[in-house]
Structures are given as C-alpha cells and as structure tokens.
Homo-oligomer: A and B are copies of this chain.
Amino acid sequence: MSAGHIDLLIHDVAVWTPDGPVMDGAVAISGGCIHRVGAASDIADWPEPAQRLDGEGMLLLPGMVNTHTHGAMSIFRGAADDLDLDKWLNKHIFPAEARFAGRETVYWGTLLSCAEMLKAGVTTFCDGYFFEDAAAEAANRAGLRAVMGQGIIDFPSPDSPDPSRALETARQFLDRWKDHPKVKASVFCHAPYTCSPETLVKSHALARERNALFQIHLAESPGEAEQIRGRYGLTPGRHLHRLGVLGPGTLAVHCVHLDDEEMDLLASSGTGVSHTPESNMKLASGVAPVPEMLRRGIAVGLGTDGPASNNDQDLFGEMRSAALLHKVHCMDPTVMNASVVLDMATRGGARALGMEGEIGAIAPGLRADLVLVNLDRPHLTPLYNIPSQMVYAASGADVHTVLVDGEILLRNRRFVHLDVEEIMGRVGEIAGKVKEFLVKGS
C-alpha cells in the first residue's frame, strides 16, 4: 500500500461501488478526491486520517447527478399546474418570467434549488436559464458542482431584450466562469423551434470553441416534431444532425419523440441525453424510448426539470418514476431494473455531461462527491438489495450527509454553510409579488 495523507476517512459504512456493495466498507478522501476504497479489514494499513466520519447504519452512494433543471424557477413552484403546455408557458410562465426574472430573483431562486438538491443528495446539477451568471453565483455560494447554461432564444428574453445580443451575453458568461473548479459555464439553446438554424450553429460553435457543454431541449412534444418538419422538412433529431450540432459535448434534453434513425444518430454522434420522466408525465409530453436508447449505448442521465414543471428536484423520486414508467409503458416488469436506474442517476448522468472521468461513481481518482443515506428507517427495513431499496423505497429525505470535493456541505440534514431560513424568506418575498401578479392577470 502506498503512503499518502488522508484528509477524511468514512468508515463502518456500506459502500456502493461500480462492482457492487462493500457492506462493511471504508472510503479515504485526499485533496478532494476519492483516494482509497476498501473493506473495514483494509484500513489498518492505511495512513492515519486527519478526520473520521462514522457511517454506521448508512450507505455511501456517489452523489446524484441532476442532468436537467432550471433552478431559478423554484420561485414559480406550484404557481400553475395541471395545464396544457401551451397555456402553461404562454399564459403563466412566460408573462411571470418577463415580469420577475432578474439577477436578484434568479440568484435566490437558484440558491433555494441548490438547498433543496443538496438535501436530496444531488452533488452535481446541470442548469439552463436566463441571467445564468446570477445562477452560477448561487451554485458557487452553495458549493455544488454545476454545469450552468446561459439561455439563448430567438425572441426577446428577460436578459436579452434584443435577441441578437444573446450570443454575446453567453460568450461573456463563458469567459467569466472559465477557470472555476466546480462551476462550469455552458450554452443552453432553448429548442429547435425557438432557435433558428443560424443561432444553433453559432451557439454550438461557441460551445465547442470553449469546450463547454451545448444543451438543448429536443423532441419534447408531438407538436414540436410537426412544427420542425413543417419548417425544415426534417424531424427535430435529423434537423440538429444536419446542422452538425449533435456530438460529444451536446446534451439533448427530453428526447421523447424520436424514431429509430434519430436514436441511431444520437448514438453514433456521441450525444448525451437527459431523461426527465416526471416532467414528461406531468406535462403529458409522452414516454421517452429510454430502454431503446440504453440498448444503443447512448449516455442517458436523469433530470428533474425545473421546479415549475415537476415540482421538486429529488432524483430518488425521479429514479422511481423512471423505473415504474417504463415497466408499465413496455408492459414488461423486467425493463429498467433498479441497478440500471441507479446507474443512470449517477454514472449515466456523469457520462451524459461528459464528466465520467471526474464524477458519478465511488472509485479512486474521482472527485469525492458523496452521499450518506440513513438506512435505519422503517421504510428501508429490511435490506435485501441496495439498488431496489434506493429506487423503490428511499427518498431524498433519507439523505443524511453530503460531500462535494470531499467537503461536508450537509451534515445530519443540516447545512454547514447555507442559511436556509434566509433563502426561503427571500424566495417567499418574491413569491408574494408573483402571486399578486398572477391573481391580477387571471
């Protein structure tokens, strides 16, 4: 065994590794990375750690990767539900955003989402919104690992009243965050039906030039496919392929209405996919062909979507919904088994974001983004099978402690750095004004 300093030793814990569980295990953290993973019997040979964390009765999971959200939209959580997508967007969300989306609201809304996600075991999230610089400040304040996408859309938006300036806003955003250790800047083109071919090509070129993730909503609703075919003579997936914006470094979100050939294009190009089952169910978008995408080797991660459409950001719930939805949709209880789904929420998400060498599993050399789940609960008793328990019985509320880069951000469900009362208070104030506005408008 090599020597080397250990900053933190998590011991007497069940560890979920890529090779399965180590029931009486230990993990050593050094310099923000996972240094060693072993059994209790191994640690006598390891260097004395600077600190210890007792994991008795708990399970150590890799931090969850939320591949799609609009964190700032927590300010609209539950403001307009059970509506048609068109009505929801045009009568409620867009007018409220036009009136309320600003640096201040985006900062507090995103910070609230960061608090929510941390409490549910999310250590990395991928976001897209306007005023993304303020959202990135919030992610930085919370200490989460994040991929933050500056929104680009071909009509006047809250941060770019002149849409021709949107690309320049994104460029400045990428410059500002280019060297941050945990917050990566990204470009988020809203969708093929709201961004012209020229906008898509230029935005994608900018993302590639800066080695930033290019995000786009793709094939969310049946209407989108019709619209794109009407305009460009091609389905949305083929349209993006022809424009050359698929490929590694591109994340396609939703992917509900894709045919076989479009899935082949995603697979052969190396495009990542964010699967958002609860949002797709709630907005009645449809059921994404996830088992078929996985069979093609596409990197599929899970996403909650924004809290105005889901309405929470708990990837445990999203895992359950994914597993259950595809079984009943395929009328086959063996598809999307618990291991596959747990993998999708961790390693799959890392791959979809192009971060598989960095996060997504408990293995030496990866960043120490870790979650301790308290197994000592009635609904998690007895324990036969870890993935089953996590997917079918656990929830984000079973998360006990969360580390990002080896730093404890949540301990025994309490925030180490964040003043969550202040955050909830600030969002509550904003929501009070939103409520007045919506009541007047309705």
Contact = CB atoms under 8 A, between A and B. Distances in A.
Interface of A: 74-75, 77-79, 81-85, 88, 112, 115-116, 119-120, 278, 280-287, 307, 310-314, 317, 320-321, 323-325, 327-328, 330-334, 337-338, 376, 378-379, 381-385, 388-389, 392-393, 395-398, 420, 423-424, 427-428, 430-432, 434-435, 438
Contacts of A78: 382-385, 388-389, 392-393
Given A283-B333, A286-B331, A311-B393, A278 B381 contact: no
A330 to B, nearest CB: 7
The 4 closest A-B pairs by CB, nearest first: A397-B397, A382-B431, A281-B324, A78-B388
A85 B334 CA distance: 10
B331 A79 contact: no
A83 B334 contact: yes
Contacts of A120: 379
B282 A420 contact: no
A313 B379 contact: yes
Given A77-B393, A338-B81, A424 B384 contact: no
Contact of A321 (B85, B311, B321, B381): B321
B424 A328 contact: no
Nearest to A82: B337
B75 A312 contact: no
A285 B388 contact: no
A211 to B, nearest CB: 33
A45 B324 CA distance: 51
B395 A395 contact: yes
A395 B393 contact: no
A125 to B, nearest CB: 14
Given A317-B317, A328-B287, A379 B312 contact: yes
Contacts of A84: 333-334
Nearest to A398: B397
A144 to B, nearest CB: 13
A282 B79 contact: no
Nearest to A333: B284
A384 B79 contact: yes
B382 A317 contact: no
A330 B82 CA distance: 13
Contact of A79 (B112, B327, B385, B395): B385
A330 B16 CA distance: 38
Most buried by B among A116, A331, A333, A389: A333
Contacts of A327: 281-284
A392 B328 contact: no
B281 A325 contact: yes
Contacts of A307: 379, 393
A402 B379 CA distance: 17
Contacts of A332: 284
Given A119-B378, A382-B428, A392-B310, A331 B284 contact: yes
A383 B78 CA distance: 7
A406 to B, nearest CB: 24
B337 A81 contact: yes
B284 A435 contact: no
Contacts of A388: 78, 81-82, 311
A376 B424 CA distance: 8
A270 to B, nearest CB: 29
B392 A395 contact: no
A148 to B, nearest CB: 19
B317 A77 contact: no
A285 B328 CA distance: 7
B283 A116 contact: no
Most buried by B among A79, A278, A281, A379: A379
A431 B384 contact: yes
B330 A284 contact: yes
